[in-house]
Amino acid sequence: QSALTQPASVSGSPGQPITISCTGTSSDVGSYNLVSWYQQHPGKAPRLMIHEVNMRPSGISYRFSGSKSGNTASLTISGLQAEDEADYYCTSFAGSRGLVFGGGTKLTVL
Amino acid sequence: QVLLEQSGAEVKKPGASVRVSCKASGYTFNTYGISWARQAPGQGLEWLGWAIPYSGTSDIAQRFQARVTLTTDTSTNTAYMELRNLRSDDTAVYFCARSTTNCLGCWFDPWGQGTLVTVSS
């Protein structure tokens, strides 16, 4: 069982926005602004999409954004595109426990 | 171009050890950390630990502390992950990723291509 809770799956139509949640506790997500999001296509390595809650690395589309409220972080993808279909994982620093991952969310573009 | 190139797939018997390498290029190896994570077949990601090349130190996730050693070789810009006393549930793809040296959880970017370790009798 993963430390952070994500929905197993979300779906949306091209052009629509979707949001993936990542719920932790006051010992991880709630205490640190160190939440990252990774995209993983089948058989590939993860790719950094968002770091430190809402920072977008160079080369990542503006359609990807992150936020946090309390113990829950969120990844929003606006204007869904076919190539966004992938698995998404959140992570958070968790103090003495180190780094914890969410269980992953499969995004399907309808 | 920053690149992390990992060693090839391994097949090991229960009780054996495995060492996975991760060769870095395209950046100054000493100024970043290297983190390790694994992904069992069809499962999510799990953090193993991270190593800091310039200090030679490492921090291992508690559940792996007895079986995992992380090392780095600054002369070859290569990081290593050794996992001992292998069990069948250690079968997974093992990834390395570049990280900061002073902020675990800030980011991992980029990731290596992954190394499949299969544990089977």
Q: How confident is the model at residue B118 (pLDDT cuts 50, 70, 90)?
A: very high
CB pair distance less than 8 Å for B44 and A89: yes
CA-CA distance, A24 to B39, in Å (whole number)? 20
Cβ–Cβ < 8 Å for B109, B98: yes
pLDDT tens digits for range B9-66? 999 999 999 999 999 999 999 999 999 999 999 999 999 999 999 999 999 999 999 9
Which residue in chain B has the smallest CA separation from A100?
Answer: B47
CA-CA distance, A20 to A40, in Å (whole number)? 14
Within 10 angstroms of residue B1's Cβ, the number of other Cβ atoms is 6
User: Which candidate from B46, B59, B110 shows the least CB-CB separation from A101?
Assistant: B46
Average pLDDT, chain B: 96
Size of interface A-B (CB pairs under 8 A): 71
Q: Is the pLDDT of residue A2 over 80?
A: no
Mutate one of B107, B113, B116 to test the A interface: name it (highest A CB count within 10 A): B107
Cα within 13 Å of Cα(B45), Cβ side = 34
Q: Which residues of A touch B103 (CB under 8 A)?
A: 34
Distance from CA of B13 to the nearest CA of A (A): 24
Sequence-separated (6 or more) residues with CB below 8 Å from residue B102: none
CB pair distance less than 8 Å for B114 and A57: no
CA-CA distance, A1 to A74, in Å (whole number)? 20
Q: What is the largest CA-CA distance in chain B?
A: 41
Q: Is the pLDDT of residue B6 over 90?
A: yes
* pLDDT for position B34: 97
